[in-house]
């Protein structure tokens, strides 16, 4: 890999040729995904919280940084951080998080425009100032760093597609490198988002969006396909269903579908 992992990561972002940003939740999943062909790994705030026995949103910045730094050491591909709202409400807090993420070895991070304490989006001007501070901090770093601006209010139901596009345009003007509005209501809305900007757009592959193929995402101009906590939750589905079978019915058949330890050992190498 080139010394500038931020530049390597940025080069993966090609409109109409989306790469899969594989969200891992621990060192084993990160190493397996990289060995299986992931070009880049991302953390997942929700999936990381699950590994700590907590619900989403209950991880501190220090814990997220320590987790991310361990991921960086574990794999030989760029790692991006899912860093919620930047772990602070002020522009200065976002800028500091960018600097700390860089020091942890990350190739980039994503920042949301929603306050986790209330679940509501930051007011428009405040949200823009937060991203402007983060972008200024990113541009002052010693190597490239991909800052992703998220318009999460469309996912939480606090605003519509028009407001999402308005915010994304403002985040672009504020210096964001990649734009992301998780799970808009329709596929047509996602296509609108992709066409509304010259920047690369991240799409979250979850729920109904998991029924679409990479080729379909390419056709509308997406540049990056992230998994969020989907893969971690698929793993938890296996645990859930096997446990229900064992504890409710005394049935151990689900365990017969497990992957062999030899394959896992080979991938972890």
Q: What percent of the chain has pLDDT over 90?
A: 96
pLDDT at position 1: 44
3-state DSSP of 105-134: CCCEEEECCECCCCCCECCHHHHHHHHHHH
CA separation for the pair 73, 229 (Å, rounded): 21
Q: Which residue, 244, 184, 232, 180, is CA-closest to 212?
A: 184
**DSSP 8-state code for residue 159:** S
pLDDT tens digits, residue range 148-158? Answer: 999 999 999 99
- Sorting pLDDT into bands at 50, 70 and 90, what band is 56? confident
* Mean pLDDT score of the chain: 96
pLDDT at position 257: 87
Q: What predicted TM-score, i.e. pTM, was given to this entire model?
A: 0.95
pLDDT at position 89: 96
pLDDT over 70 (residue 178): yes
Count up the domains in the chain and report the number: 1
Phi, psi dihedrals of residue 182, rounded to the nearest 5°: -60, 135
pLDDT at position 3: 72
**CATH number of the CATH domain containing 85:** 3.20.20.60
pLDDT tens digits, residue range 194-251? Answer: 999 999 999 999 999 999 999 999 999 999 999 999 999 999 999 999 999 999 999 9
CA separation for the pair 25, 46 (Å, rounded): 9
The 10 Å CB-count burial string (b at 16+, else e) for 11-22 is ebbebeebbbbb
pLDDT tens digits, residue range 106-156? Answer: 999 999 999 999 999 999 999 999 999 999 999 999 999 999 999 999 999
Strand locations in the chain, DSSP E?
19-23, 40-42, 79-82, 108-111, 146-150, 178-180, 201-204, 224-226
CB atoms within 10 A of CB 218: 16
Q: Which residues share a beta bridge with 178?
A: 148
Domain that residue 142 falls in: 5-268
């Amino acid at each position: 890999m080139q010394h500038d992992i931020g530049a390597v990561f940025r080069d993966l972002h090609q409109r109409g040729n989306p790469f899969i940003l594989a969200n891992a939740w621990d060192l084993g999943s990160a190493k397996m995904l990289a060995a299986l062909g992931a070009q880049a790994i991302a953390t997942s705030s929700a999936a990381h919280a699950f590994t700590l026995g907590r619900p989403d949103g209950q991880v501190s910045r220090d814990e997220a940084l320590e987790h991310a730094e361990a991921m960086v050491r574990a794999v030989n591909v760029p790692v991006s951080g899912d860093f919620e709202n930047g772990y602070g409400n002020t522009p200065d807090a976002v800028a500091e998080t960018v600097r700390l993420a860089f020091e942890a070895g990350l190739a980039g991070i994503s920042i949301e425009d929603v306050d986790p304490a209330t679940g509501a989006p930051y007011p428009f001007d405040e949200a823009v100032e937060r991203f402007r501070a983060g972008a200024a901090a990113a541009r002052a770093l010693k190597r490239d760093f991909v800052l992703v601006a998220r318009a999460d209010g469309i996912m939480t139901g606090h605003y519509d597609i028009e407001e999402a596009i308005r915010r994304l345009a403002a985040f672009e003007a504020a210096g964001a490198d990649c734009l992301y509005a998780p799970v808009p209501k329709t596929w047509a809305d996602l296509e609108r988002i992709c066409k509304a900007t010259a920047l690369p757009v991240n799409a979250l592959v979850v729920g109904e969006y998991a029924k679409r193929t990479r080729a379909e995402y390419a056709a509308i101009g997406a540049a990056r396909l992230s998994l969020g906590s989907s893969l971690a939750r698929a793993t938890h589905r296996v645990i859930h269903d096997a446990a229900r079978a064992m504890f409710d019915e005394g049935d151990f058949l689900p365990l017969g579908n497990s992957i062999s330890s030899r394959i896992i050992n080979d991938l972890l190498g």
